[in-house]
Amino acid sequence: MATSSSQWFLWTATILLIAVVSQGQLTTDFYDSTCPQAATIVKQKVDEIVNADKSLAAGLMRLHFHDCFVRGCDGSVLLNSTITTLAEKEALINNNSLRGFAQIDDIKTELECACPGVVSCADILAMVARDATVKLGGLSWSVFLGRIDGAASVADEVNSSLPFRTDNFSQLVATFAKVGLDTKDMIILSGGHSIGQLHCGAFFERLWDFEGQNITDPSMDPEFAESLKAQCPRDNPLLFKGADSTNATFDAVYYSDLLTQKGLMDSDVALMSDPLGVEYALKAVQDPYSFLFEFGMAMIKMGNIPASDPYGWRKNCAVIEPRHY
């Protein structure tokens, strides 16, 4: 548990962050008069979904990430392609990778039955990300609401907006900075990789063909590498591997794995190439409560990235309809 001094620091940080978010006009009580049961409906549905399939918790969290980094937090990741435009979900980095679209649709249907035309798809993603994280052991955080859904979804915008699995530390910092998140935010939010699974292809080069030399990345723990090769044979990069050694629990083990050379993707391992990354990893391992708390604070900050092209509240999260305000 955190010490009393660190608890005081975390409490102070919370007050400051809430003040910043409030200036962005999102509020925790946005639906209190129009749909007071919204948060309860979302939590109940997330509980059902994750009870049926724990691996979906990570997918539901990732939808919020992938939404906010492209056009801001506007629910555009949920939109289907049109005759003229390929949507974000069809972009190479997202296609056959993102999960949870049907589950979000199910939650939206429940909310529309209870409160027609009230809760935005972007707000659903924010609430779902929190509840899915908590369901696997994370600390809860206040979800600020009042986002307006976006008007478009463009696949070509994804690659220039999201971090890549091969990014180095500087590239990660730059990508997060573009949406107003700092280096600490990047390191803490990377802890989202504590849950879920990865295609073996996401770290194929590190495991089998490091720098095109037909070898394993020498920085990877040798025993871990051999174990990984048994789970991810060279001829089958489409198999899945847990994101960390406790991938069904949201915890700080992700950072422990990095510190012991058991990271998977280049972008994960890149955190250990910078003193600040090492510092925060050590802090997370030494004080897991602090990491869980700071992750929630970073999620609040990420969730405050404004929509670049606000449109209205969509009744169907996958389709652009006439404006609803």
Per the domain annotation, does 10 fall within a domain?
A: no
- The backbone torsions φ and ψ at residue 29, rounded to the nearest 5 degrees and listed phi first, read -110, 25
Buried b (16+ CB within 10 A) or exposed e, 231-251: ebeeeeeeeebebbebbbebb
* Lowest mean per-residue pLDDT among 162-176, 188-202, 273-287, 311-325: 311-325
Mean pLDDT of 290-296: 97
Claim to verify: residue 108 and residue 177 sit in the same structural domain:
no
The verdict on residue 240 lying in a domain is yes
pLDDT of res. 1? 43
Examine the domain organization and report whether 53 and 85 are in the same domain: yes
CATH number of the domain encompassing residue 146: 1.10.520.10
* pLDDT tens per residue across span 209-254: 999 999 999 999 999 999 999 999 999 888 888 888 888 899 999 9
CATH number at residue 193: 1.10.420.10
In angstroms, rounded to a whole number, what is the distance separating the alpha carbons of residues 154 and 83? 12
The CA distance from 209 to 325, in Å, is: 53
Tell whether 136 and 183 lie within a shared domain: no
Indicate if 289 and 223 belong to the same structural domain: yes
In a domain, 16, yes or no: no
User: Which residues are the active-site residues?
Assistant: 66
Give me the pLDDT at residue 194, please. Answer: 94
Q: What percent of the chain has a predicted confidence (pLDDT) above 70?
A: 91
Residue 242's domain comprises 169-299
As to burial, measured by CB atoms within 10 angstroms (0-12 exposed, 13-18 middle, 19+ buried), residue 166 is middle
- For residues 159-169, give the mean pLDDT: 95
Better-scored residue on pLDDT, 162 or 321: 162
182 and 158 both lie in a single domain: no
Q: 25 in a domain, yes or no?
A: no
Residue 39 has pLDDT above 80, yes or no: yes
Specify binding-site residues for substrate: 163
Whether 23 has a pLDDT exceeding 50, the answer reads no
For residue 269, is it within any domain?
yes
In a domain, 261, yes or no: yes
Angle subtended at Cα 49 by Cα 47 and Cα 53, rounded to the nearest 5 degrees: 115
**In terms of domains, do 138 and 213 share one?**
no
Same domain for 241 and 287, yes or no, is yes
Task: Please tell me whether residues 82 and 197 are part of one structural domain.
Answer: no
Q: Are residues 175 and 258 in the same domain?
A: yes
pLDDT reported for residue 281? 98
Question: Number of folded domains in the chain?
Answer: 2
- Higher pLDDT pick, 49 / 15: 49
For all residues of the chain together, what is the average pLDDT?
91
Q: Which residue ranges are tagged as binding site?
A: 67, 70, 72, 74, 76, 88, 163, 193, 246, 251
216, 261 in Cβ contact below 8 A?
A: no
Stated as kind and residue range, the H or E segment containing 149 is strand 149-150
Q: Which two tokens stand for residue 195?
A: 């849950």
Annotated binding-site residues for heme b read: 193
Q: Which residues are annotated as a binding site for Ca(2+)?
A: 67, 70, 72, 74, 76, 88, 246, 251
Cβ atoms of 245 and 271 closer than 8 Å: no
Give 147's pLDDT tier (boundaries 50, 70, 90).
Answer: very high
* pLDDT over 50 (residue 189): yes
Please check whether residues 91 and 198 belong to one and the same domain. no
Q: Which long-range contacts (CB under 8 A, 24 or more apart) does 250-253 make?
A: 250/57, 250/133, 250/136, 250/137, 250/138, 250/194, 250/195, 250/292, 251/137, 251/194, 251/288, 251/292, 252/191, 252/194, 252/284, 252/285, 252/288, 252/291, 252/292, 253/194
The C-alpha atoms of residue 311 and residue 325 are separated, in whole angstroms, by 8
Q: How confident is the model at residue 296, as a pLDDT?
A: 97
What pLDDT, on the 0 to 100 scale, is given for residue 240?
Answer: 85
Residue 83 has pLDDT above 90, yes or no: yes
**Is 156 in the same domain as 180?**
no
Classify residue 182: in a domain, yes or no: yes
Range of 57-66, 92-101, 194-203 with top mean pLDDT:
57-66
- Out of 27-41, 78-92, 194-208, 229-243, least confident range: 229-243
Distance CA 243, CA 234 (A): 18
Mean pLDDT of 131-157: 96
Pairing of strands 310-312, 240-242: unpaired
Give residue 323's pLDDT: 53
**Same domain for 145 and 78?**
yes
pLDDT average, residue stretch 144-171: 95
Does residue 81 belong to any structural domain of this protein?
yes
Residue 55's contacts (CB-CB under 8 Å, 6 or more residues apart) are: 196, 197, 248
Give the CA dihedral 154, 156, 157, 158, nearest 10 degrees: 100
